[in-house]
Chain A
Amino acid sequence: MRPYRPKDNVQKKSYYTDRFWVAPRVPEEPVEDEIFKEDLASVEQTFSIKKAYIQRGQLVIIIDPKDNVEVLRHLKEERGYDVLSEMSAIDYLAKDGEFEIFYQLLAMSKRRRIRVKCRIKENEAIESVECLFRSADWSEREMYDMFGIKVNNHPYLKRILMPEDWVGYPLRKTYPLHGDEAAQWYEVDKIFGKEYREIIGPEQRDPAFVSTKDTCNYARVTHPLPKCADPNSEPEHIEVFNDDAPLVETFDLKKSKIVDKTR
């Protein structure tokens, strides 16, 4: 019987995990740092914070997704977090049906980094923070490209890394590493149309492709046959080293010269 593989997360899994294995956790420390404490208190005054802790020297705040622009504006204008160095999402659709969006902020004057996180449901949209940070322009496009998260009020929400007519969102856990069916037929669909998939067939689609299960041709991968040759015939034996014209000369110490200095 074929083992069951979950469809909602097709990423690679460890082939063996001890059944008593409990993964340790990176400690979530209480906010004791002076500067972070002030920042947190200042945000807490006006916004509801679900959770706040320090992990590996950076403050993590979990907020309501509706507040994202206002919280970032507060942090930028009142607390000096004026660089959005990174933002993206994490796919938790399989586990909780949600995306986790994180904003990685930097306050250059204080040398502090904060991570603001919020969670949205699969079909929800998030408000754009492009009005605060120009860098969010491309980050949000990349997030939309990779996860399909819609961003409201973005000036130019378009795919950025993948082609515009790409089907599917590559960084979702449901998307396999080697691409889905639409990805495999991308060129054929684009150039000839979907109806040509059957006419062209998988062999024509990728002429270099040789299945590892096809023992006859797989054994020939580095020994190609000439065109129109009988596939069952043995490949000709090619003499690589010929005695008459040796490719490798024997080393002669008398003839060679040793250079004392290379540079």
Chain B
Amino acid sequence: MQQRNRLEPYFENLVFEREDNKMVVNFGPQHPSAHGQLRLILEMDGEQITKAVPDIGYLHRGMEKMGENMIYNEFLPTTDRMDYIAATSNNYAFALAVERLLGIEDKVPRRAKVIRTILLELNRIISHLFWLATHALDVGAMSVFLYCFREREYAMDLMEEYCGARLTHSAVRIGGVPLDLPEGWLDHLNWFLNNLPEQIKLYEGLLTENRIWRMRLEEVGIVPPEMAKSWACSGIMLRGSGIEYDIRKEEPYELYEELDFDIPVSDRCDSYGRYLLYMEEMRQSIRIIRQLITMYKDTGPELMAHAPEYISAPKEDIMTQNYSLMEHFVLVTQGMRPPVGEVYAPTESPKGELGFFIRSEGEPYAYRMKIRAPSFWHTGILQDLLPGHYLADVVTIIGSTNIVFGEIDR
């Protein structure tokens, strides 16, 4: 028997017949420029937007629920799937939150810290290149997309050479890193860093003074400083509005205290200002990695923190010492048990402030894991940002907020 289908076709793309002569346009959720499954319901007066309602949740996988049902080490690879453009920054944010909860933040060996910071900055470059590529493609500059992806490919090769994965790295562990840098990796990194400034100059030559680029970006998506603060914007969305706040500088974690770098700020408040910041941030990341390469040379060989109740001993100890093997067995089968308490650890991911709030009840499973993903608020701001703009600017604004749906819907 044929069964009656109760799904009603309410998702028409256009609704013309309204009394107030306004048109409702359904933008997404399958739109190539929406950077994921973003659905925007736009009320238009002619070409101009009068109301925008972002609709999210199409990629919701319940990561917070999963975090409450997995032991801490088990959950770490899951965090890869949040901001999948720069996976290490998620791994690191999670590892940092757990380390802070355990109180072993200072016990992480220096070499591990150097490697982590290199990876974080490399991920920042990868993420910014990806942003520039897709943003330029959305606005209409096809060739920039190809150039950026070429450079990103080299950076991903470096990640692959280090940890074996290109997108979902899981290259950071709670308490350190699993692997030392392979032989010759720093030379490859150096080659990449020497090559990149020239390429950035090429992108800037293509875009910065480009008439079309400037017309599409200037005075589009203006975020006043009050609005940025009220919407809890972070990262470049915040610094593009003239507020100088970078968690790497203000609340330093890892090795950022010892490193010498600048925080670019722009008070243009528009998409063009944010574009300039992205370009400058890539240069600063190169500068940071160069300093880290010299730091790497005078570090000891340890890679994981020594905290036997929480972290397994090195492999040699597990293979040779009975007690280490027993501890390792308990840590793998039952999981580490952090002390009772809660922690909120903010980090500066390429997208903005990425923080993990963890409430622990002394069990191997977190009692509550709240992931503060920057893109969530950068999408929410669209409902205040879009009205008054033209339909063609929607794509520019979505692009310049640099949202990624893995971390919005989690």
Which residues in A have some Cβ–Cβ distance to B below 8 Å?
11-17, 21, 23-26, 28, 55-56, 58, 82-86, 88, 90-91, 102, 104, 108, 111, 113, 115, 133-135, 137-138, 146, 159-163, 170-171, 175, 177, 190-193, 196, 263
28 contacts between A and B (CB under 8 A): A12-B70, A14-B334, A14-B335, A23-B361, A24-B362, A26-B343, A56-B100, A83-B229, A83-B232, A85-B232, A85-B346, A86-B357, A108-B245, A111-B251, A133-B232, A134-B231, A138-B380, A160-B57, A161-B57, A161-B410, A171-B68, A177-B62, A190-B7, A191-B5, A191-B6, A192-B3, A192-B5, A192-B6
Chain A interface, DSSP helix/strand/loop, else mixed: loop
Contact A113-B335, Cβ < 8 Å, known A86-B355, A138-B377: no
Are A12 and B365 neighbours in the complex by a CB distance under 8 Å? yes
Which partner residue on chain A sits nearest B100 by CB separation?
Answer: A56
- Determine the interface band of chain B, counting residues with CB < 8 A from chain A: 35 or more
Please give the distance in Å from A238's CB to the nearest CB on chain B: 31
Of A13, A138, A193, chain B has the most CB atoms within 10 Å of the CB of A138
Is there a chain A Cβ closer than 8 Å to B157's Cβ? Answer: yes
Is there a chain A Cβ closer than 8 Å to B306's Cβ? Answer: no
Are B372 and A86 neighbours in the complex by a CB distance under 8 Å? yes
A26: chain B residues within 8 A (beta carbon): 101, 103, 339-343, 360
Which residues in B have some Cβ–Cβ distance to A below 8 Å?
3-7, 56-57, 60, 62, 64-66, 68-70, 100-101, 103, 154, 157, 188, 191, 227, 229-232, 234, 243, 245, 250-251, 334-335, 337, 339-344, 346, 353, 355, 357, 359-365, 367-368, 370, 372, 376-377, 380-381, 384, 409-410
Are A161 and B409 neighbours in the complex by a CB distance under 8 Å? yes
Are A135 and B344 neighbours in the complex by a CB distance under 8 Å? no
Distance A84 CA – B228 CA, assembled complex (angstroms): 11
Which partner residue on chain B sits nearest A156 by CB separation?
Answer: B53
Please give the distance in Å from A14's CB to the nearest CB on chain B: 5
Distance A137 CA – B377 CA, assembled complex (angstroms): 10
Distance A163 CA – B409 CA, assembled complex (angstroms): 12
Distance A16 CA – B333 CA, assembled complex (angstroms): 10
Are B339 and A196 neighbours in the complex by a CB distance under 8 Å? no
A163: chain B residues within 8 A (beta carbon): 57
Partner of A177, one of B60, B69, B360, B367: B69
